[in-house]
Amino acid sequence: MKLARLRIGEWESYGLVEGERVRVIQGSIFGEYAISEASYPLERVKLLPPTRPTSFWAVGLNYAAHIAHQERALDAERIRREAGVFRPWHKGVGCIIGHNDPIVLPPEADYVHYEGELVIVIGRPARRVTPEDARHFILGYTCANDVSGEGSWSKDMSNWRRKGSDTFGPVGPWIETEVDPHRLEIITRLNGREHDRGSTSGMIHDCYATVSGISQFVTLHPGDIILTGAPGAVEPLHPGDVVEIEIPGIGTLRNPVVAEDGGTR
């Protein structure tokens, strides 16, 4: 099932996406709900970020190809030291935006790039779960763009602005509940042209190990989301660009890029 969070006028609801239409869901997708007969064309609704998470987690350097790219682009010694180590971190929930919402580049950022990633959506409270049981705590999966400010910001001691600036967390367009997370392609397009393609089969820490690892120390709650890493190379974003993250079997997340100050740098 494809489960969306949507707005129609001033009214918000969850919905079941069926082709080019969405049927309204009564209740919460994280509890009891019923699928109503009321439906709308997708073009008439505003797709919101598919959940309102209490926490937004990420796992970096989770693909060999991405590690190799970052060694060339950034601090190679640091990247080699951290490669393969399970180091989840927080990407603040305040940066989340949805499908078709603009990514806003702050004037202080001298280099910002995309990172197309698969996202895990937690379905029920998870604490100290095993990798073997982790799948039972996952509602489904969606697409994300881990927008990241590098350049001078890569010297920051934390990710507070490099990864967490407003609008640096596009997520969507909806949650797919019936998909094998370890047999998916991740395709990133910039201005309609494919720039990167990778497979989730190349993860160092797979989805179930990731949920299990975080849950050993932190309770994951329904609606929480976890980025699982970028599979390959990245490219800078500029005002006027349009970036798309497509995961066949799930959908396509699309976001235009604008400058905060209205400039065209």
DSSP string, 13-71: EEEEEETTEEEEEEE-TTS-EEEEEEEEEGGGSEEEPS---S-EEEE-S-BHHHHHHHH
Q: How confident is the model at residue 156 (pLDDT cuts 50, 70, 90)?
A: confident
Q: How confident is the model at residue 26 (pLDDT cuts 50, 70, 90)?
A: very high
Predicted local distance difference test score (pLDDT) of residue 66: 53
Q: How far is CA 165 from the centre of its chain?
A: 15
Whether 265 is covered by a domain: the verdict is: no
Whether 5 is covered by a domain: the verdict is: yes
**Same domain for 128 and 18?**
no
What pTM did the predictor assign? 0.93
**Same domain for 137 and 111?**
yes
**Same domain for 196 and 242?**
yes
**Same domain for 68 and 34?**
no
pLDDT tens, position by position, 192-241: 999 999 999 999 999 999 999 999 999 999 999 999 999 988 899 999 99
Q: What is the CATH number of the domain that holds 180?
A: 3.90.850.10
Whether 113 is covered by a domain: the verdict is: yes
The tally of domains found in the chain comes to 2
Domain interval for residue 28:
1-47
